[in-house]
Amino acid sequence: MVFLAVLSSGKSNSNATAATRLAIGSLGAFKFWAGQLESYLCIIRKSAAAMAQRICLQRALDHPRPDPAVDAALHATNNSTGPPSSGPEWLALNAEMGYSIFSHRGGELDLYTYAATRPLRVLYVDGQSASLGTPGFMDSQYVITNTSIPLENPDPGPGQNRTIEAARALALCRFGDKHGFEGVVRMATSFELLWCDFAKGIQLSTSFLCPLSQPLAHAPLLGMINATDPYYEHQWDSEVQTTTSLGRDQSATSDPPVPDPPFYARARWNYARSGEREFFAPGEVPVILDPMGFVSFYDGLESLDAKRRAEGTSEGPRSRHRLYGISADDTQTVQARLAEVLARKNAENWQMDSDRLDWRALVLTIVQRYSHPIVELRYVLDRHDLNATEQAIEVRGLAYDILMPSLDFAHWHSPEPDWLSEGIRKCATAYTSAPLLPSDLNHSIQLIIGAIEGTLSRICTTIYSLFSQTIKLSLPVKPTYTFNSTLENEARAKIPEWRGEIEGLQKWLGWSNWADCDPRCKTNVSTLPLID
């Protein structure tokens, strides 16, 4: 999906509502929200499970000065020339990410912290768009830069991924220079910002020089640290190759070997833990999405629809969906939609209207409304301390609780298809039936409405199906009843089917607030797998 948004220079404007701030594009909200409004089929899917097939433009709420709140933008390097002063480079949105990426390369490591001096205009590419290892994650970036999408990732050869990434970064920045945005936010385990010119919009705030920059003075201390590090594999690396992330300096030196950064072997795990912090609401909060600027590859692109139908993946996990095979016409359609949204944002000077409907708050309300009852249904259907009749009675009650606002008993005596279809319609449109002003109903907002109604239609259809089946069983009204073996057998035959329906619904939704271990780990850390 493509979004218009902004990266905050600090605290948000007090005149804007919290909902609007997140609707425009909070980085933290990205993992929790932006990756979740994928199309008319889902509201909140785990964005890591979806391919990088959505894009989003970002802009931060106005703030007149640098603010410590955005001091999470860090640049790590093992280049002894110091921090970049101009041109494109990457920033991590947390220290753990910056440290992890460079610590495993060995040698000296320095961390530089930057603060935004003004609102930053940023494009957000949704999905695992910073992951290099799996075909598909870079697909939308190929489309943006008007490059042919490969079926498989090209084999760059040893050490060449950074060179390819540098070329991709320059292409994205050229596109941004043409269309008015200044950087690109992408997601792997955490979020990163490709900032196209370090001479503009940001300033160096602090720096942390790893003790390894003074190896003689600190070597005894580092030796003691690494001797007690259970993750430590080796202390010295004589094959260190210094480089920046854009490959500006790849020269090997003849200097004596230097120790690896302290606790470097723990860096990947710490990076994963930092990503876990952003996986749930409110997420990475400095970035604010503009819902008026969403562009999606699930939005009426016939070549991709036909491809998924042919592959039989239309109803399957979206992690299997690729942009490979998109037609030239559909590519031009997406590019035109993106250009139109960018032109509008530039004409508005990337201002954001705080009076517009808070779509993010609406989405979170829906998730809050339905997530726990769905889990409770799953729990009841998995219980072994109840017989099948008791389980069916509980399912009937829980389903009614969910459907009650849309279940109109005036239609109860209508033929089944009529009262079911009317109930599903009311349930699916319960949050979107209020009229909107024409100025608030552009193509992007229609896309969001379609996503909400499509998701609710799937939920409501599933729950109405369970409810109607329990009604047909003629179950007792009260849980205390005389045991009926015929009824027990009928209910027992239905339980696996109902369990499958709820399991399928949960898998299809993939809501992030369900992403935890069962049973939970001692430290209760739920995170995504590391993907290179």
> Domain spans of the chain?
2-347, 359-514
DSSP state of 247: -
- The answer to whether the beta carbons of residues 31 and 48 sit under 8 Å apart is yes
Question: CB count, 10 Å around CB of 457?
Answer: 17
- Residue 529 burial (CB < 10 Å; 0-12/13-18/19+)? exposed
Amino acid at 279: F
Q: Quick check: 238 pLDDT over 50?
A: no
pLDDT tens-digit map of 33-50: 333 332 222 232 223 223
**Residue 137: closest CA among 123, 147, 152:** 152
Strands, DSSP E only, in 65-119? 73-77, 89-92, 110-116
Helix-strand-coil split of the chain, %, nearest 5: 45, 15, 40
Looking at per-residue pLDDT, the higher value among 86 and 366 belongs to 366
Q: Quick check: 241 pLDDT over 60?
A: no
DSSP state of 266: G
pLDDT tens-digit map of 316-331: 777 788 999 999 999 9
- The answer to whether the beta carbons of residues 235 and 154 sit under 8 Å apart is no
**What's the mean pLDDT in 362-371?**
92
Stretch among 305-314, 322-331, 473-482 having the lowest mean pLDDT: 473-482
Q: Quick check: 459 pLDDT over 80?
A: yes
Q: Quick check: 447 pLDDT over 60?
A: yes
Q: How far apart are CA 287 and CA 302, in angstroms?
A: 32
**Residue 61: closest CA among 34, 35, 23:** 23
Q: How far apart are CA 95 and CA 450, in angstroms?
A: 38
pLDDT class for 230, splitting at 50, 70, 90? very low
Report CA torsion sign: 463, 466, 472, 476. Answer: negative
pLDDT for 14 equals: 30
- The answer to whether the beta carbons of residues 128 and 529 sit under 8 Å apart is no
- List residues bridging with 473 in a β-sheet: none
Question: CB count, 10 Å around CB of 481?
Answer: 13
DSSP state of 83: S
Q: How far apart are CA 119 and CA 324, in angstroms?
A: 35
Backbone angles phi, psi at 185, to 5 degrees: -100, 130
pLDDT for 258 equals: 58
pLDDT for 213 equals: 41
Q: How far apart are CA 106 and CA 301, in angstroms?
A: 46
pLDDT for 222 equals: 45
Q: What proportion of the chain, given as a percentage, has pLDDT over 90?
A: 34
- The answer to whether the beta carbons of residues 458 and 508 sit under 8 Å apart is yes
For 333-357, b where at least 16 C-beta lie within 10 A, e where not — what string?
A: bbbebbeebbebbeeeebebebebb
Q: Quick check: 187 pLDDT over 50?
A: yes
pLDDT for 359 equals: 87
**What's the mean pLDDT in 445-455?**
93
Report the alpha-carbon angle 266-510-455, nearest 5: 150
Looking at per-residue pLDDT, the higher value among 344 and 6 belongs to 344
pLDDT tens-digit map of 81-102: 667 778 898 888 887 887 777 7
